[in-house]
């Protein structure tokens, strides 16, 4: 799995601000023409350079949410951007893992896997969103242990190295700033299946899964669905 090209993508020098997770989709043939001029600097070093050059961005506050949404309100953003689709979603049922109706929600687009806040439910133990069913506009909730998964599959795959042999063991990351964990990829009937060495919390369809060998980004894909390990 070592890089077999003169050009490859690696993590940035600042582990707290590394953006390699969101760059897995770059076409491999563009790497030779891609520059990351501050990749070898930490955020503090970049700020110091900005101060020396009297740039007004030198001391702006950190952006902690969706950078292109000015007020960090993604619900408002979606309502402004696709109002017809958002209005069509409407309210739906909140059900437990047995299928019992336990409440009403304001639309599945307002929730994500692993979410606890905003459910407005009363339980003796915390409940989390464990599944989202867009076609029925249902939210499934359960205990935290229900959020741990070992197997998933991915689609929209993009490799940044020219040769990958399967099955292979490497490191995987399932969301920005989450720990990089050990995993194995198998290719079955042109479907990529990922097995995590340890169960992972809130493996979420629609999010990116990115693969590394040490600091080198091998590629990634979109988590398509969770695979029931009991089957």
* Contact predicate 154/221, CB 8 Å: yes
* Contact predicate 41/14, CB 8 Å: yes
Query: What's residue 51's pLDDT?
Result: 96
Query: What's residue 6's pLDDT?
Result: 75
The string over 91-119, giving b where at least 16 C-beta atoms fall within 10 Å of a residue's C-beta and e elsewhere, is ebbbbbeeeeebeebebbbebebebeeeb
Residue pLDDT tens, the chain, 231 long? 445 567 889 999 998 889 999 999 999 999 888 888 998 999 999 999 999 999 998 998 877 666 677 777 888 888 898 999 998 999 999 999 999 999 999 999 989 999 998 898 888 889 999 999 999 999 999 999 999 999 999 999 999 988 889 999 999 999 988 999 999 999 988 899 999 999 999 999 999 999 999 999 999 999 998 887 654
* Contact predicate 158/220, CB 8 Å: yes
- The neighbour count for residue 147, using CB atoms within 10 Å, is 19
């Amino acid at each position: 799995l070592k890089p077999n090209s003169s050009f490859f993508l690696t993590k940035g020098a600042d582990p707290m601000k590394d953006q390699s997770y969101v760059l897995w989709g770059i076409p491999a043939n563009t790497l030779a023409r891609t520059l990351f001029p501050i990749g070898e600097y930490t955020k503090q070093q970049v700020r110091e350079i900005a101060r020396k050059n009297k740039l007004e961005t030198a001391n702006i506050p950190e952006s902690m949410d969706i950078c292109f949404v000015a007020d960090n309100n993604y619900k408002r953003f979606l309502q402004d951007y696709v109002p017809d689709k958002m209005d069509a979603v409407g309210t739906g049922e909140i059900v437990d893992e047995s299928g019992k109706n336990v409440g009403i929600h304001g639309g599945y687009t307002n929730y994500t896997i692993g979410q606890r806040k905003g459910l407005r439910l009363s339980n003796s133990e915390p409940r989390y969103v464990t599944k989202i069913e867009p076609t029925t506009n249902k939210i499934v909730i359960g205990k935290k242990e229900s959020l741990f998964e070992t197997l998933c599959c991915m689609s929209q795959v993009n490799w940044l190295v020219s040769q990958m042999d399967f099955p292979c063991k490497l490191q995987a990351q399932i969301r920005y700033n989450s720990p990089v964990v050990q995993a194995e990829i198998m290719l079955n009937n042109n479907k990529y299946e990922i097995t995590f060495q340890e169960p992972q919390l809130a493996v979420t369809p629609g999010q990116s899964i990115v693969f590394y060998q040490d600091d080198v980004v091998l590629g990634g894909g979109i988590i398509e669905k969770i695979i029931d390990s009991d089957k």
